[in-house]
Amino acid sequence: MYKMIIVDDNFYDRDDALSIVNWDELFVKVTETFSNAIDAIEKMQEYKPDIILTDIQMPKMTGMEFIKAAKEINPCVKVVIMSCYSEFEYAREALKLDVAAYITKPLQNDEISNVFGTLIAKMNEETELAKEKEEIKKRLQESFPILKERFIRSFILEGSHDEEALWNQMKYFNIPIKKGIYQVLVMEIDDLEVLRNLSMEQKQLIEIKVSNIVEKCFSNYSSSMEEIIVIQVDAIHFIILFNVTVYGFLINGDNTAVQLSRKIMEQIRCSGLPEMTLVLGKAFGRITETHLQYKECLNAMRHKFFVGKGHLLNIDELKEGEEAAAIDLDTLKSDIRMILLSNQPNQVMSFMAKYFSGKDCTMSEHSVKDLTYSIIICIQLVMAEINLDFEEIFTQRSVVWKKLIEFETILDIQQWVKNILFSAQTWIADKNSLKSRKVVEEVRKYIEEYLDQELTVQNIADRVFFSPNYLNSLFQHETGETIPQYIVRVRMEKAKKLLLNTNMKLYEIVEEVGYKHTAYFNSLFKSCAGVTPKEYREGKRR
């Protein structure tokens, strides 16, 4: 209901405007009438009208002066003017003041209804749009920290080629990084077994502790944490992006960044955190290079296979060669994910051909073991993504790594990798099948429990937290029939039992098995049983 005041110096016109239509039917409540504009202006704050219905020609203050004053108090107020034909020029001038409508005197019921019907519809639409805008704004504010973290992860993990757009986004998210020379320090948790046994709260504490350690170490070079980003990009990796020039680090011949990284490593060892390996990247001058530097650090992280856990690796000091040949970890992980989730053995053979075929003569033993190490790590990550434990298949990880180190030939390693991929693929397929059967059983129980109520794929899907299409497809794959087909079959079987074993009337049976209309039930029953319910009951009881 919108509030409205009427302003007119003519008593009869005011009374006419007040009584000519049923304002309640138009969702308008007339809160007050005024004989002059000055009184109306003085009461604007008190009555807070949504709509003003006003005359133009009035003493003391004209209608146009009143409209200007009212709009200054509430720019959103809707104004409808009423005037005689002889005053049309005034009315046309008032329309420039964003007047909503013009009505001629004497007032007519139809014209009032049409004008206000249109106005109220428009105001309803504006109200809904305002609510929607406010809701979006509220949600944006609530999710701002999440969006900020998602943006940081995105430009680090996925990269961006548009530097100007990237800086604009950083400004929007209030990220304290300015143009300069940068470096990244990537930290990787070494012992995944320890991490897996931690609670969610303990994992959150790791992120907090790492941030505190980094802040403490950088505070020796600056009093604030400006020009630095510390973020956990996945379950085992942290990245520190910092502006070298702001912290006074020199690029050529200076090892301050190395010393700082060692200090962070020492603090981690003393803090009770899981053991970590750190890789310090090269200095770079464009913020868009962050993604590439991060990937280089991840590639360098593979040297942990040779030097052991808990070391600081400096990319500038790593020797190039076949042993350090770059592996695209994103592609490798994607290929392994496809293999493990496909349950297609031929994809394992295609994978082996892609990564090993023809390389046994060109790759050193270290290179092959390095590739194998990366494959095993990716298998663990993919399994962790789908909440499965690597050790459920391959027992202790230490045994796996020990076996890898002990292999003496490339052929042995290739066969070992192939066996691991086949085993993981089969095990995951069996796990998924078991999970599907549990979901189907839950659906069946729900249908049996609520058979007398309205059942749809949508409300069943809401119950088990799946999308309707996927749930129906999964159910059909496991049972050979869709959920709607199963519901009909179960209802018909129950109806048959009730027809034979009880004296319930037909309409009672219809309600008992979840239908509302007897005619529809009769038609459905006949299509399933070949006879009507009545014929079925009489025929079976003879």
Report pLDDT for 465: 73
Predicted TM-score of the model (pTM)? 0.45
Pick among 3.40.50.300, 3.30.70.270, 3.40.190.10, 3.40.50.2300: CATH of 158-318: 3.30.70.270
Report pLDDT for 407: 65
- The topology under which CATH files domain 450-541 is Arc Repressor Mutant, subunit A (1.10.10)
466: helix, coil or strand? coil
What CATH homologous superfamily does 2-129 map to? Answer: Response regulator (3.40.50.2300)
Q: List the one residue out of 329, 309, 326, 324 whose CA is nearest residue 234.
A: 329
> CA-to-CA distance for 125 and 232, rounded, in angstroms?
44
What are 468-522's pLDDT values in tens digits?
Answer: 887 887 788 788 899 999 999 999 999 999 999 999 999 999 999 999 899 999 9
What are 119-155's pLDDT values in tens digits?
Answer: 999 999 999 998 998 888 888 877 888 888 888 888 8
Element (H, E) at 2: strand 2-7
Q: List the one residue out of 192, 190, 163 whose CA is nearest residue 179.
A: 163
For the chain, list residues with pLDDT below 50. Answer: 251-253, 321-324, 359-361
What are 178-221's pLDDT values in tens digits?
Answer: 888 889 999 999 877 677 788 888 888 888 999 899 888 888 77
- Cis peptide bond N-terminal to 345, omega within 30: no
Domain ranges of the chain: 2-129, 158-318, 329-433, 450-541
Report pLDDT for 484: 93
CA distances from 475 to 342, 431, 449, 462, 485 (A): 19, 16, 18, 15, 11
207: helix, coil or strand? helix
Q: List the one residue out of 300, 284, 288 whose CA is nearest residue 243.
A: 284
